[in-house]
Amino acid sequence: MAKKCDLCGRGATKGASRSHSKIQTLKRQNINLQSKVLEGVKVKVCTSCMRTLAKPDRVKTKRKPALKVGEFGTAKKTGKKIVKLTKGAKAKPVKAVKTVKTKK
């Protein structure tokens, strides 16, 4: 019987055992296989696949459309206002315009 995962097909890998004198001795590193019943069939599954099977199904959310040239928006993390200036370029932060008060 092969020591391979029935889901992903991963098998054993080669590794090197090193002594103090740096002599290399090749060894076989088997994967962590567990037998499990999936949908009424007994299969050999590696533990990384078992973790993946235990994950809940992801629900995709709608994405916001990208900024068009000349459009204003706000950055997620910093909250700063940004504007896209040219096609193909990333959106850049808008510099605040200082107002100068004049004395009358």
Helices within 19-103 (DSSP H only): 47-54
- For the chain, give the mean pLDDT: 82
Could you say which DSSP state residue 46 is in?
E
The DSSP symbol for 17 reads E
**Predicted confidence (pLDDT) per residue in 38-97, tens digit:** 999 999 999 999 999 888 888 888 877 777 776 777 777 777 777 766 666 666 666 655
Question: Does the pTM exceed 0.85?
Answer: no
Cite the DSSP H helix spans in the chain: 47-54
